[in-house]
Copies of this chain bind each other. A is one copy, B any other.
Amino acid sequence: MTQNVIIIGAGAVGMTVATFLSRHTDHHIRVFSSDTHTAYSQCGMPFALGSHLFNLTDLIVKPRRAFIDMGIDLHLRTTVNNINVNNQKVITKDGIFTYDFLVIATGSIPFISPIPGDDLDGVYTLHTLSDGMNIEKALNNSTKAVIIGAGSKGSELAACLNKRGIKVTLIQSTSQVLPSILDPDMALIVRQHLTSQGIRVITGTRVDHINQGKGTHVGSVAAGKEILPADIVIITTGVKPLVDLAKDAGFDIGPAGGIVTDKYLRVKYNGKFLNNVYAGGDCAQVKHLITNIPVLIHSGAAARRMARVIGKNITKKTSTLSTYPPTLHPNVVAMEGLTAGSVGITSQTASKHDIHVISGSSKGYTKAGYYPGARSLYIKLIFSDTRLVGAQVVAAEGVKERIDALSLAIRMGAVIDDLLRWETSYAPPVSMVIDPVTLAAEDRQKKMWK
């Protein structure tokens, strides 16, 4: 039976759901987005800006034409004004549309604490593809950049712009880089890498002003007691979920600021989860596997997985709905020669939630010690009693795969013995004889003996 599916948002979640449904159903699929572009790799923008090896437009997943050819009814530059849940209708400038299923994938917008001068020319956020294109233009006339916010995006962007030959200052109000994914000891290794590349890293310092230079263009940034010259300023202080539309429609918004979802990614309305309204991506909150509290996930990989769950659930009977399990939020941050990764909780997050943890750490290498080109590999494992609840890896390579392995380990309930018994493989050009993960587990075990 053909049904009407309305998807709000043409990003990774929206277009993946649309594609999935066009392949597996004959539903009529309408997508509304206020954006000019369909899904593109947001995560790829720092890298496109940092090199001339590929362009921002290469980040667009599929040409618009491809979606239209699939029979998807695409309404770009079209804001949804209102959702009427009781009548199952969506109100836009193009008209009023009825839905059998509704998918809310409105994404996020940059989160900025107001800074005097943040409205000057040359001050940007990096969130949409249009932002990227504006920054690309501006960079051609820039030699000195100040990046405000040393989270994942800011740290990647700092490394990329530095590689492009721009003098970069990276500034963070709290005391370390990558505060939400790394503990201070691991963050220090990242900081040393960025510094060794020629990036100036300032932490524990708030930006007081963005100062005018020539005309209405930025000229410098005042932070602490310093004036940092800048012909471009990029603010990367995080994002917040875009939920006004959902809130106005009466859907529950949770403590993390996202749309409340259950494990099927259904949305809550008047105290119950609806079988025909789903939310996913940056605008939806899901439970964290370790802390059990709702969190927001900003990740293309999560977006794709959520979209698959939503797509399947729209094609299925309620009794056999697919689930999106509680998250461990695995992350990797690639910074030109060094990658940092994290999964589960950090010691800092644990302490915030009164979870007592013990860690085990190791410094190993990416190859056999005698093998030319062996690089340092740092691992930190976080245990609650004997159970693995978090992991951090920092190295030139082999980070993403180890974070993934540890993501699976945590999800499957691994305890220290599982890690100690773990049979790892070995060849001198690709590993040490004993994997650094095992060494970190052994370090944790020593603490047990004390």
Q: Which residues of A contact B (CB under 8 A)?
A: 41, 43-44, 47, 51, 53-54, 58-59, 156, 299-302, 304-305, 325, 327-334, 339, 341, 343, 368, 370-372, 397-405, 407-409, 411-414, 418, 421-431, 433-435, 437
A129 to B414, CA, bound (A): 39
Q: Which of B51, B339, B434, B437 contacts A430 (CB 8 A)?
A: B339
20 cross-chain CB contacts under 8 A: A41-B428, A43-B426, A44-B368, A44-B428, A54-B370, A300-B426, A301-B434, A301-B435, A327-B423, A330-B425, A334-B429, A400-B426, A401-B405, A402-B405, A404-B422, A404-B435, A407-B422, A408-B408, A409-B412, A412-B412
Task: State the Cβ distance, A355 to closest chain B Cβ, in Å.
Answer: 20
A43 to B426, CA, bound (A): 9
* Neighbouring B residues of A328 by C-beta, 8 Å: 423
Which single residue of chain B is at the shortest CB-CB distance from A402?
Answer: B401
> B425 contacts A331, CB within 8 Å?
yes
Which single residue of chain B is at the shortest CB-CB distance from A435?
Answer: B404
* Neighbouring B residues of A437 by C-beta, 8 Å: 404
Q: Which of B332, B418, B421 contacts A431 (CB 8 A)?
A: B332
> B412 contacts A418, CB within 8 Å?
yes
Further pairs besides A301-B435, A304-B433: 20, Cβ < 8 Å = A41-B368, A47-B429, A58-B370, A59-B370, A301-B424, A301-B433, A302-B423, A305-B423, A325-B421, A327-B423, A330-B425, A334-B427, A341-B425, A343-B425, A398-B401, A399-B430, A401-B402, A404-B435, A407-B424, A412-B418
> B400 contacts A411, CB within 8 Å?
no
Q: Which of B400, B427, B434 contacts A425 (CB 8 A)?
A: B400
Q: Which of B156, B403, B404, B425 contacts A407 (CB 8 A)?
A: B425
A203 to B9, CA, bound (A): 55
Which single residue of chain B is at the shortest CB-CB distance from A156?
Answer: B427
* Neighbouring B residues of A400 by C-beta, 8 Å: 398, 424-427, 430-431
> A330 contacts B424, CB within 8 Å?
yes
A397 to B427, CA, bound (A): 12
Q: Which of B41, B301, B398, B434 contacts A423 (CB 8 A)?
A: B301
Task: State the Cβ distance, A263 to closest chain B Cβ, in Å.
Answer: 11
Task: State the Cβ distance, A51 to closest chain B Cβ, in Å.
Answer: 8
* Neighbouring B residues of A330 by C-beta, 8 Å: 423-425
Q: Which of A59, A305, A341, A435 has the most CB of B within 10 A?
A: A305
Given known contacts A330-B425, A341-B425, A421-B325, A434 and B304 CB-to-CB distance under 8 angstroms: yes
Task: State the Cβ distance, A40 to closest chain B Cβ, in Å.
Answer: 10
* Neighbouring B residues of A402 by C-beta, 8 Å: 401, 404-405
> B332 contacts A430, CB within 8 Å?
yes
Given known contacts A370-B59, A412-B418, A431-B332, A426 and B299 CB-to-CB distance under 8 angstroms: yes
> A44 contacts B331, CB within 8 Å?
no
* Neighbouring B residues of A329 by C-beta, 8 Å: 423
